[in-house]
Chain A
Amino acid sequence: MKKILLVSRHAPYGSSMAKDAIDVALAAAIYDQDISILFMDDGIFQLTKEQNASEISQKNINAMLSAFPLYGVEKLYFHLSSAIQRGIKIDELALDNITALHDEEISTLLNSQDQVLSF
């Protein structure tokens, strides 16, 4: 089993990046790999409650992310400073099983991985 980290750095909807990362995470879970996901920079905007993507004929990214634990994707992290910079508080996040990481913890996480896939 390999340790694979997905780094999701882009906002939802404006590009397919967020959704494409989710699809890769689910594929990795099916293949029984040790998968972690880190949200940082504009990727933080994927995590907020109150999304209504049907307005633009898309599906809610936050709902897909909330379903991750059902598929065995349980190592979820977000970069605390990215959230603070964007004025997003922890109680605004749609996921309750996600861990906040400080700057130094990000490099520890990256260093502990076999492969990093970026989105």
Chain B
Amino acid sequence: MIFSICVYAAPYSSQASYSAYQFARSLLAQGHKLHRVFFYQDGVFNATKLATPPQGEFDLYEAWQTLAKEHNIDLAVCIAAALKRGVLNKEESVRYQKEANNLADGFSLSGLGQLIDAAVDSDRLITFGS
């Protein structure tokens, strides 16, 4: 079956993003397909490459990136939610004349259409809110 997951929560502030990650791991281990993870609201903070969790703590940022690489998953970040929270890729950083960009590898900025598309193209869409 084809799944998509929607994440509304920042890592660490709540458990939701971690739950979403565990759910993703589990469905993949069972041989299902994960079409897309869509990060919305504070969920966009999962996509920053500047975050530096202390040693010994579970690194959720790296976990998402590894998952995406291993299973070729589309990690889509709502562009409007990301821009207003300071999560930018190179292109947007240049467009808005910012000094830096911080979107981690494996993530892409995209519109809400990608969330609707995930709802349409997946058998199940599961939301993890905070």
Interface size class of B (residues with CB under 8 A): 10 to 19
Interface stretch (choices B66-74, B96-104, B119-127): B119-127
Interface size class of A (residues with CB under 8 A): 10 to 19
Q: Are A28 and B116 in contact, CB atoms less than 8 angstroms apart?
A: yes
What is the minimal beta-carbon distance from B83 to any residue of chain A, in angstroms? 13
In Å, the complex CA distance between A23 and B124 comes to 21
Q: Within residues 107 to 130 of chain B, which ones have a CB less than 8 A from any CB in chain A?
A: 111-113, 115-117, 119-120, 122, 124-125, 127, 129
Q: Are A30 and B113 in contact, CB atoms less than 8 angstroms apart?
A: yes
Given contacts A16-B41, A115-B125, A118-B127, contact A31 B116 (CB under 8 A): yes
Q: Are A20 and B40 in contact, CB atoms less than 8 angstroms apart?
A: yes
In the complex, which residues of chain B have a beta carbon less than 8 angstroms from the beta carbon of A20? 40-41, 81
Q: Are B127 and A117 in contact, CB atoms less than 8 angstroms apart?
A: yes
Residue of A nearest to B6 (CB): A117
Among B113, B117, B119, B124, contact of A117 (Cβ-Cβ < 8 Å): B119
In the complex, which residues of chain A have a beta carbon less than 8 angstroms from the beta carbon of B119? 2, 4, 28, 33, 114-115, 117
Q: Are B111 and A27 in contact, CB atoms less than 8 angstroms apart?
A: yes
Q: Does B60 lie at the interface of the complex (its beta carbon under 8 Å from any beta carbon of A)?
A: no
Q: Does B80 lie at the interface of the complex (its beta carbon under 8 Å from any beta carbon of A)?
A: yes
Q: Does A67 lie at the interface of the complex (its beta carbon under 8 Å from any beta carbon of B)?
A: no
Chain B residues engaging chain A, CB cutoff 8 angstroms: 6, 40-41, 80-81, 111-113, 115-117, 119-120, 122, 124-125, 127, 129
